[in-house]
Amino acid sequence: MTNFVAFRFCDNDFHSPLRDAITYVVENRTEELTLENFREFVLRGMVAFDSVRRIDDWSIKHCPQYDYARYRKYFEDTLIVTEVMLVNDLESYFEGYIFDKNLMTVFYQGY
């Protein structure tokens, strides 16, 4: 068994939806998830949180169509999810969010 699930996404523009998605999955899952299922639910959450992160009249008028398929593909191609025993097991250039399975917390790890 591993202690941490690490989410690496090398595009800072989407760190907020990533963090929101990880936190939501951690707080709302009803069972232990496999790494593949954890990744899938976080991807779904990223698309959802990204699509609603700008809730105002301007976004409806100027961005009336959110391209779910395009963003889903981009997130899917870019997100790397791994499990590690120790945070130090991650590469030195790791930047992203880590879910601590023991403390049930999500935190940012940057270089």
**Taking a C-beta distance cutoff of 8 angstroms, is the pair 79, 8 a contact?**
yes
Tokens standing for 86?
């120790």
Greatest CA span in the chain, whole angstroms? 49
C-alpha distance across the termini of the chain, in Å: 26
Q: Is 95 helix (H, G, I), strand (E, B) or coil?
A: coil
pLDDT digits (tens, 9 = 90+) for 28-81: 999 999 999 999 999 999 999 998 887 778 777 777 777 889 999 999 999 999
Helix axes 68-78, 35-52, angle to 10 degrees: 140
For the chain, percent of residues with pLDDT exceeding 90:
74
